[in-house]
Amino acid sequence: MNCSECGICENYACPMLLSPRRVNVSIKPLLRERGIDPERNMLPKMREYFEERLVPTGRLVARLGLARYARHLGNELTELKPDRVSISLRQQIGAPCIPCVQEGVRVLTGDLIASPPEGKLGANLHASIDGVVSSIENEAIVIGSG
């Protein structure tokens, strides 16, 4: 139940090319249906040797078959500054979030724009750019930098 479904296990780490993520996705609803809710570690700690277990980006890109799309993998970083973002109100397995902003409202990066319904599993959503909420449509909040 603690699996975040990131896919690293199947896309990088599994030498047998198995899909533990898909197995977890299938099993979690069955456990919930049967009322099985294992205790979760609400105070996780970084594991020993964490730094040595990081996934090498180049190898992950190759394993995913994305090498032809990778322009560079050096130390050069390019900051992206989009003029518009669309933030989905449905994130992973949680309940869809409820917007707490309205169209036309100016938001700053990090401002709370939506939160899960009371008592439901979900994550708060925050603005990723400074801008104005241009629309709330199709289960997404659109923010333009205008």
- Could you give all domains of the chain from N- to C-terminal order, each with its CATH number? 8-69 (no CATH), 84-144 (2.40.50)
Split at pLDDT 50, 70, 90, the class of 108 is: very high
Range from 25-34, 40-49, 97-106, 114-123 carrying the lowest mean pLDDT: 40-49
Entry pTM: 0.51
Phi/psi of residue 98, nearest 5 degrees: -105, 125
Q: pLDDT per residue over 45-79, tens digit each?
A: 777 777 777 777 777 788 778 877 776 656 666 77
Digit-coded pLDDT (tens) for 2-18? 777 887 777 776 667 77
| Closest residue by Cα to residue 63 from 15, 109, 2, 134 | 15
Give dist(CA 80, CA 84) in Å, integer.
11
Neighbouring C-beta atoms of residue 89, cutoff 10 Å: 19
